[in-house]
């Protein structure tokens, strides 16, 4: 069913000023920091299986997944940095340690091997066993693809073979499935790289068994009915038409559903994926591409419940949305999915990590005030460290989001400066995206094929010149397609209009009533107290006044801010309550890209400001 595929890590070299420094920082800071904390907290040491009761650093139920994500990131990173022999040696050392922890029957989990071996697969709804396995599988596939070595891959094949004997609808098998989804998409990857259909069948089973009656968790684990929707187990996937529950789990489940739908040409299952995507992107997504509106269960709430200060918008959830959108585009070829991917990538995801690469947000609210309990400053690590370790593997994949490949076609999904090389084709993209809409595409090798580029949903006007001559074509599903025999050195010039736009939310979004947000190109902007002073809630933006693009202060070179007119509410009295009528004074405001807030010290921030 797939129309397109994403190029492998290493196929695209990202050279822009927005993401290339982040990818470089992943190599120099994010991965080293995550390795250090994984060692210091005992996560890596746990694979030695030497922990005994009463000892410190008891292996936690999700520790294995943290190490797996770092290992996956290391594997991708050595593809991008093949000269780093020290990192490659460290990767092999950790992989050997993980493999050494495998039990004779194929089982591999540090917590349940040494802490509570009697409870293996007893608490599927809450104890992350299969989730950890999924991340180990993804790491093993990445390690094999990066190095060609099979030790880790064969280890996880043995584990998957064991799981296939435990779970299923056969006599004596458990009819369970993971409480935290992830293994579904991982098993599809394992099946793809090994050619073993039984791994795909197991992924298909986990997806199709989910939510069947009688409910496995209620019947076998005593789970409360009210907990089921948070783990997407209150209904089957074929009954699901909304995004519900824990936002990361929902996205990982949707990714697995999309993978299975694609490989089986299952139109009904794909329709459910479309329903979930519409539910997210049209009714349950923040303007930043963040998802998951409440910290209670890290979950989606009802339609249009999108509070700014209390927004959860977990970094991992935004990454999950990017992966889901990537799959939906590859299946359908529809650029609307990349519109959402781009929004989440440029805003909701990258806000979760500092420019230095070693500071992190777990949640990404759209407002942070002096009274905020969390996220006024990025931190180095979390007890639940899923987000820092997820960045290790996400950042090297950015080039794979920007391009896609189809039969006889190469697609530029996001026109960031980069160089694509695959199958004898070599294409270079230059320009200042996302701050500038002028893009140059150069063909470094000749050949006959279709080159397509996406016209973003936010772009109202665009122009194209091929070989210096105007080219006119209407986008189809968001893409302009040009089929011809390309000459080496031939160029395409693309110009995307990128005005400052004032955005307003649907009236049903109570939190944003009477408020406006600022957007330019793919970037959502925010006011930060560093530029505007404290008590941002008193600033009212004049949406009708001209706004200017200006150089941002104390942010990376080339970063553009937006300046405009506002009024500020003030009172002379310092009383808690007063009869005094507020005065409004004119003032200017400056907004910076939301993703870059809190890189200049602790600060207040808001995306949605009152309108004057």
Neighbouring C-beta atoms of residue 69, cutoff 10 Å: 27
- 138 Cβ contact list (under 8 Å, min separation 6): 68, 72, 185, 186, 189, 393
Q: Which of 72, 129, 184, 298 is catalytic?
A: 298
Which residue, 67, 56, 171, 168, is CA-closest to 110? 67
In this structure, are strands 403-406 and 4-5 parallel, antiparallel, or unpaired? antiparallel
Return d(Cα 339, Cα 336) in angstroms, integer.
5
**Is 386 part of the annotated catalytic residue set?**
yes
The four Cα atoms 432, 435, 436, 441 give a dihedral, to 10 degrees, of 40
Q: Which of 155, 255, 386, 387 is catalytic?
A: 386
Whole-number Cα distances in Å, 569 to 438, 539, 561, 588, 612: 40, 7, 23, 13, 10
Whole-number Cα distances in Å, 598 to 72, 317, 348, 367: 28, 20, 14, 12
Confirm if 245 and 311 have CB atoms less than 8 A apart. no
Secondary structure class of 492 (helix, strand, coil) = strand
Q: Which residue has the tokens 């990173």?
A: 77
Ramachandran area for residue 601 (φ above 0: left; ψ -120 to 50: alpha; else beta):
left
Confirm if 612 and 540 have CB atoms less than 8 A apart. yes
**Is 298 part of the annotated catalytic residue set?**
yes
Q: Is 15 exposed, middle or buried (0-12, 13-18, 19+ CB in 10 A)?
A: middle
Q: Which residue has the tokens 């509070």?
A: 307
- 286 Cβ contact list (under 8 Å, min separation 6): 293, 306, 311, 313, 348, 366
Question: Cα-atom radius of gyration of the chain, to the nearest Å?
Answer: 25
Whole-number Cα distances in Å, 336 to 104, 247, 260, 471, 536: 48, 21, 21, 23, 34
Tell me how long the chain is: 612
Kindly list the catalytic residues. Answer: 298, 386
């Amino acid at each position: 069913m797939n129309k397109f595929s994403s190029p492998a890590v290493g196929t695209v070299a990202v050279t822009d000023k927005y993401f290339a420094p982040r990818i470089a920082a992943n190599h120099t800071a994010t991965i080293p920091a995550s390795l250090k904390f994984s060692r210091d907290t005992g996560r890596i040491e746990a694979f030695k299986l030497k922990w005994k009761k009463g000892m410190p650093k008891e292996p936690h139920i999700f520790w294995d997944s943290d190490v797996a994500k770092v290992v996956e990131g290391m594997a991708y990173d050595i593809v991008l940095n093949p000269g780093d022999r020290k990192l490659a040696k460290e990767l092999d050392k950790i992989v050997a340690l993980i493999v050494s922890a495998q039990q004779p029957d194929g089982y591999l989990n540090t917590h349940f091997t040494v802490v509570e071996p009697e409870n293996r697969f007893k608490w599927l709804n809450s104890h992350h066993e299969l989730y950890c396995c999924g991340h180990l599988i993804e790491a093993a596939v990445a390690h094999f693809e990066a190095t060609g070595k099979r030790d880790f891959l064969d280890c996880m094949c043995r584990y998957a073979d064991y799981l296939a004997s435990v779970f299923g609808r056969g006599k004596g098998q458990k009819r369970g499935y993971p409480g935290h989804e992830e293994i579904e998409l991982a098993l599809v990857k394992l099946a793809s790289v090994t050619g073993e259909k039984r791994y795909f069948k197991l992924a298909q089973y986990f997806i199709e068994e989910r939510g069947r009656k009688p409910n496995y968790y209620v019947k076998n684990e005593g789970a409360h009915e009210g907990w089921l929707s948070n783990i997407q187990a209150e209904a089957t996937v074929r009954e699901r038409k909304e995004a519900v529950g824990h936002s990361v789990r929902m996205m990982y489940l949707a990714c697995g559903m999309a993978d299975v739908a694609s490989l089986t040409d299952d139109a009904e299952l794909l329709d459910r994926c479309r329903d979930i995507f519409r539910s997210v992107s049209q009714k349950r997504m923040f303007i930043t591409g963040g998802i998951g509106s409440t910290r209670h269960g890290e979950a989606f709430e009802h339609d249009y419940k999108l509070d700014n200060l209390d927004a959860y918008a977990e970094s991992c959830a935004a990454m999950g949305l990017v992966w889901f959108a990537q799959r939906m585009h590859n299946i359908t070829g529809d650029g609307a999915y990349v519109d959402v991917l781009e929004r989440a990538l440029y805003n909701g995801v990258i806000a979760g990590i500092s420019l230095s690469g070693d500071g992190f947000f777990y949640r990404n609210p759209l407002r942070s005030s002096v009274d905020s309990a969390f996220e006024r400053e990025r931190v180095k690590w979390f007890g639940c460290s899923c987000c820092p370790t997820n960045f290790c593997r996400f950042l090297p994949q950015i080039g794979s989001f920007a391009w896609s490949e189809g039969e006889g076609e190469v697609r530029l999904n996001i026109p960031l400066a980069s160089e694509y090389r695959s199958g004898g084709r070599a294409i270079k993209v230059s320009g200042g995206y996302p701050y500038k809409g002028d893009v140059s595409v150069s063909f470094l090798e000749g050949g006959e094929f279709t080159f397509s580029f996406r016209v973003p949903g936010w772009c109202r006007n665009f122009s194209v010149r091929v070989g210096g001559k105007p080219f006119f074509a209407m986008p189809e599903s968001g893409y302009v397609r040009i089929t011809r025999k390309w000459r080496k050195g031939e160029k395409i010039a693309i110009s995307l209009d990128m005005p400052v736009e004032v955005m307003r939310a649907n009236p049903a979004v109570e939190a944003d009533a009477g408020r406006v947000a600022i957007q330019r190109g793919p970037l959502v902007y925010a006011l930060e107290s560093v530029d505007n002073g404290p008590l941002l809630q008193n600033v009212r933006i004049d949406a009708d006044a001209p706004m200017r693009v200006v150089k941002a202060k104390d942010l990376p070179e080339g970063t553009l801010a937006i300046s405009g007119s506002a009024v500020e509410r003030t009172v002379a009295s310092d009383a808690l309550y007063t009869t005094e009528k507020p005065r409004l004074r004119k003032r200017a405001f400056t907004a910076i890209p939301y993703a870059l807030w809190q890189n200049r010290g602790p600060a207040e921030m808001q995306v949605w400001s009152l309108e004057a």
